[in-house]
Amino acid sequence: MERLPFSLPDMEPGQVWLVGAGPGDPGLLSLLALQALRQADVVVYDALVDPRVLDLANPAAVREYAGKRGGKPSARQPDISERLIALARLGRRVLRLKGGDPFVFGRGAEEALALVEAGITFRVVPGITSGIGGLAYAGIPATSRETNSAIAFVTGHDASGDVPDSLDWHSLAKAVPVLVFYMALKHLDRIAGQLIAAGRSPDEPVAVVSRASTPAQKVITATLGEIAAVARREAIEPPALVVVGKVVDLRPRLAWLPEDPAV
């Protein structure tokens, strides 16, 4: 790393860093994330970490995949936490690398609590969550004075893989002008239906951003009533964000990536 006018903390043996890798583009990594990549002895990484980010890791570091993808064989969360603890107890400098931000729908809190109970020293390095960075790469601002003074980030599924029963659809529909759903593609029909039933207009603009900030990024726009059918027709693949609200109407003027096709 180039010489900086300030010092960065070093990873210590027996320590775990929970680091957010951002939505994909390695240029969005923080300096602390890059420090961890270059110093770690072991990198335990998720499915959503871009390969270009992993390429920045210490060449001598051991890389361990611990990704979880819906419908596919995946590592169990308790096993991942136990692995982090075991590696730290062996004196390794452990980087737990997560897509986006570890504390935004990333289960980083669960892993941190496991480390606390095991007496393992850790550091949390925030990353740019896809609900902010991914929207920006799609030319959709999270907020704009002309459209919204509030925004909500919502998970599209719970631990069971279904739409969370705890969501208050009427409150979301009535009180929050812009909604950003993570991991919602599988249940997009149901989510759109719930919002419409709770009072959102079926004509409200919606965007789906697939593989945000990567070379494979794809963005589609449609109305709330039509977005699920359009996503199927366009063969949109996860990971994908769904944003509901008038901020989507700003995209035609703000889509700044030349290779980012408007649909």
- The strand order across the sheet containing 178-182 reads 151-155, 178-182, 240-244, 205-210, 218-223
Q: State whether CATH 3.40.1010.10 applies to domain 16-128.
A: yes
Which has the closest alpha carbon to 35: 19, 46, 47?
Answer: 19
Domain coordinates of the chain in residue numbers? 16-128, 131-254
Cβ-contact 98, 18 below 8 angstroms = yes
Expressed in percent and rounded to 5, the helix, strand and coil fractions of the chain are 30, 20, 50
Q: Let me know if 249 is a catalytic residue.
A: no
How big is the CA angle at 74 (ends 73 and 76), to the nearest 5 degrees?
135
pLDDT of residue 2: 67
Which has the closest alpha carbon to 176: 255, 252, 103, 244?
Answer: 244
Catalytic residue among 68, 246, 249, 260: 68
Arithmetic mean of pLDDT, 17-22: 98
Catalytic residue among 25, 46, 50, 101: 46
pLDDT of residue 159: 66
Instruction: Supply 114's token pair.
Output: 């496991």
Catalytic residue among 11, 101, 183, 218: 183
Instruction: Supply 148's token pair.
Output: 């919204």
CATH superfamily placement of domain 131-254: Tetrapyrrole methylase, C-terminal domain (3.30.950.10)
pLDDT at 261 over 70: no
CA–CA distance, 218 with 235 (Å, rounded to integer) = 10
Whole-prediction pTM: 0.91
**Phi first, then psi: what are they for 88, rounded to 5°?**
-65, -40
- pLDDT, one tens digit per residue, over 197-246 is 999 999 999 999 999 999 999 999 999 999 999 999 999 999 999 999 99
**DSSP β-bridge partners for residue 100:** 22
Q: Let me know if 46 is a catalytic residue.
A: yes
Q: Let me know if 165 is a catalytic residue.
A: no
Percentage of the chain surpassing pLDDT 90? 87
pLDDT at 91 over 80: yes
